[in-house]
Amino acid sequence: MISSGGIFRPDANADARLAAIVDSSYDAIIGKTLNSVITDWNHAAERMFGYSAEEAIGQSILMLIPEHMQGEEVEIIAKIRAGERIPSFETTRRRKDGSLIAVSLTVSPIKNGASEIVGASQIARDISAAKESERRIRLLMREVNHRVKNQFAVILSMVRETSKRSTDPAEFEQMIRSRIMALSRSHDLLVTSEWAGASLFDLVQEHLKPFGHEERISLSGPLLTLQSNAVQNLGMAFHELGTNSSKYGALAAEGGHVEITWKVETDPEARRRFHLLWHETSGAAAVEATPKTAGRKDAGERKGFGTVVLQRVAPQSLSGSSTLERTPGSVKWQLDAPLEAIVVPQLGADTESDFSV
């Protein structure tokens, strides 16, 4: 400190203030000799590494360093002895319980009154949360990259198959647009959950919402969280079924009704299976009164893209099988697949809670 006369006088409380700062720091602050023996250990070091000051002081700093990384300490001490500056760096240290922790480490020399280097201080900051965040971001980016490529492949297939079945450019554009928007709705559900999956209930609602008539649609089945592949393929199936129903089926006729039910069962080989049924009824008169139904590719003898999705694309992508039955006033689509191909693995066992809407 400086007195009123301009003469510098040592502050007798400086050491106490410095000790208080070190003791209250959220970062682990450790002092060590040039032989890597611990001399100082603050409370944050106790919390971070699990050793009390009594356990740590007098021990080698190597007890905190994984065996395969102990060469770091040799380099650190060599640079400290040479008076070299050591930039902060990220590394890994080991706690008392053996678990590893990611830290950002800052190492500085400790000098005596003669300006001789007699040891080193190191400040360790826990960066585990930041590292985990980085890991999750990288994982999500890889997942997004994979899904985007997959979406491109699906869109190309849509364009190819739809073009085979349409001679009207305006109709072709409208069909492609609606199918890409359906893919987008499935994609939005996955993005909202950070690609962790989506509720089957939410998926059905999201894809049938554009067609309206919610009062004519009932859903019933156990609460399931679908994995991303099932979200995409079931989403495509629901879109095709909803489109056909809104134009020529139950959602186009007065009094029509769509019932979607699903269940999980165990087969004779003790394998868990997923069963889904789309059943719509509209009355034979309503179907016969629809002028273009007989000539539509999905309703006629030629297979339209929707039929291809329901009979081949969706079941094969989910390692299952399906049946599609059309009779006057009724459409039934049934899907059977292994449960592991449908649900998020850790949630696959939870099929006890049912809902009905």
Domain boundaries, the chain: 14-126, 131-356
- Topology (CATH) of 131-356: Heat Shock Protein 90 (3.30.565)
Task: Provide the pLDDT for residue 293.
Answer: 37
pLDDT at residue number 176? 80
DSSP conformation class of 6: S
Closest C-alpha among 212, 305, 300, 293 to residue 251: 212
Name the DSSP letter for residue 213: -
Per-residue pLDDT reduced to its tens digit, 308-357:
889 998 999 999 999 999 888 899 999 999 999 999 876 444 444 555 55
Query: What integer pLDDT is reported at residue 350 of this predicted model?
Result: 46
Q: Residue 264: which residues within 8 A CB-CB, separation 6 or more?
A: 222, 224, 272, 273, 274, 275, 339, 351
The rounded distance, in Å, linking the Cα atoms of 228 and 243 is 22
Q: List pLDDT tens digits, range 197-244.
A: 889 999 999 999 988 888 899 999 999 999 988 998 999 999 999 999
> Does the pTM exceed 0.85?
no
pLDDT at residue 302, rounded to an integer:
45
- Residues with Cβ within 8 Å of residue 165, at least 6 apart in sequence: 297, 302, 304, 305
Q: Which CATH number fits domain 14-126: 3.40.50.720, 3.30.450.20, 3.40.50.1820, 3.40.50.2020?
A: 3.30.450.20
Residues 6+ apart with CB under 8 A from 10: 1
**How many whole angstroms separate alpha carbon 26 and alpha carbon 47?**
9
From residue 192, alpha-carbon distances to 18, 199, 313, 336 in Å are 48, 11, 25, 27
Q: Which regions of the chain are under pLDDT 70?
A: 1-24, 165, 283-303, 346-357
Q: What pLDDT shows up at residue 356?
A: 57
Query: ∠ CA 353-356-357 to the nearest 5 degrees?
Result: 140
- CA 339, distance to chain mean position in Å, is 20
Amino acid identity, residue 219?
Answer: L
Pair 242, 282: CB distance under 8 Å: no
Res 31: pLDDT: 94
Length of the chain: 357
Classify strands 217-222 and 257-266 as parallel, antiparallel or unpaired.
Answer: parallel
Note whether 250 and 282 are within 8 A (CB): yes
